[in-house]
Chain A
């Protein structure tokens, strides 16, 4: 797992082992390369992207955490990657070129949190109507919606 660190110490901002689950914080700029590296790793290839989601830590800064759950089907291992993003115009590179599965997941995060994935082939709203205003899963969006 810690081969990432030997690849680029600057890319890994920290790691946490909690309740048998590993989380690795990755620098925003090197996320896509880190994902490609993990996917092609010879001893433990994380070839399956389980999930992409986001947590809003409003009003804390950096406000957003985008979370990638990876699974290695041959080795039966899981790892979680996290990227911290600031509150104003959050954006991160898309991983659709690494795992095409990210397509719908990233669209959902864009729709509900307003995070831009640069390089995504079709970044449009997926759950909410096209003309919806705001991003419902942000913490400053009221549960009842705006009336």
Chain B
């Protein structure tokens, strides 16, 4: 029998349609059908100035906007050859890790909800609210932040911001204990996740899996540590790896990542360098408001950036960052004008979704829900 799961189904985390060929309750074949959220962002990028693409990158993955901002900004900065001041780099790392926690909390809540543990959802969204308030304080937006700009970050954080982050970082590890109390030793949770949707390390690599999905299968690879960007080499953190390759292993990886991420946030707050938050590149970075009112050059630069953008030297760059879901990559091609010739986003979820048939074939329908949850997909990123 052929069964359609989705495109509107609570456990598909967006508009994903999964076509199941079943024999009783056992799955014979499974095929994901995507494209329901395709908005042509890559095409739109080609018609915008480089700085106008930043808000579009937010909208690819609504759970980790800053990661996408960062990846795009890094790619363009590499094309321009810009030097980013240390304070901006540390701010970026700090916000990026808060974004990772935010994304993992939504994943944990909804994943547990799918499998039937309702309470965790409410706990996770309680802490997520704190993070969204921090985002609002720093960028004025809760979700589509556009906080990282080409050449630095948009604004200086407000005065009490670092105290608030520190307070949150001190409080958060005990909250992770709460989630773990609810789930890790829970026998029902174990029965639904242990040994389910198992994937070997060889299959995971061959099918292009990355992030916690790859590390859950025992491959010790993290772009933050192995191909560091934006000053990640200055931070000490462990990369959690589990060997089993099942839903539970991926759950453990992500929960451990919550603890590592909050440790990075703590290091970033404690060691935050002083100095400017934007690169010294007047033709690329918008001038301060104060300067615009007093200096003629600043006003001219502002006018030129807004009206005609800035030319980026010819070339091409592939920049990858470790997003909460895996390797998020931006391939930017410049033809020397003020608009990108081509922007391509390498979506971690698109590659991870290819694991689904390997995970589910020969197993029960109920396991599909657990498997989809465990690869943590965001359909906005898959379809773009």
Contacts and interface: CB of A to CB of B under 8 A. Distances in A.
Interface of A: 18-19, 21, 23, 47-51, 53, 55-56, 67, 69, 73, 76, 78, 80, 99-101, 103-105, 108, 112, 125-129, 136-137, 141, 143
B207 interface: yes
Given A19-B317, A51-B318, A100-B207, A69 B346 contact: yes
Contacts of A50: 208, 318, 320, 327, 329, 346
Contacts of A23: 316
Interface in B298-346: 315-318, 320, 327, 329, 331, 333, 341-342, 344, 346
Given A55-B341, A101-B208, A127-B35, A80 B46 contact: no
Q: Is the interface of B mostly helix, strand, loop or mixed?
A: mixed
Nearest to B219: A73
A126 B17 CA distance: 12
Interface of B: 34-35, 38, 40, 42-44, 46-47, 78-79, 81, 205-208, 219, 221, 226-227, 315-318, 320, 327, 329, 331, 333, 341-342, 344, 346, 350-351, 353-354, 383-384
A114 B34 CA distance: 18
B315 A127 contact: no
A50 B207 CA distance: 10
A18 B219 CA distance: 30
B341 A78 contact: no
Given A55-B341, A73-B219, A99-B208, A19 B43 contact: no
A23 B316 CA distance: 10
Contacts of B205: 47-48, 73
7 contacts: A50-B346, A55-B341, A69-B318, A69-B329, A104-B354, A108-B350, A137-B43
Contacts of B206: 47, 99-101
Contacts of A127: 34-35, 38, 383-384
Given A50-B346, A69-B329, A101 B354 contact: yes
A104 B42 contact: no
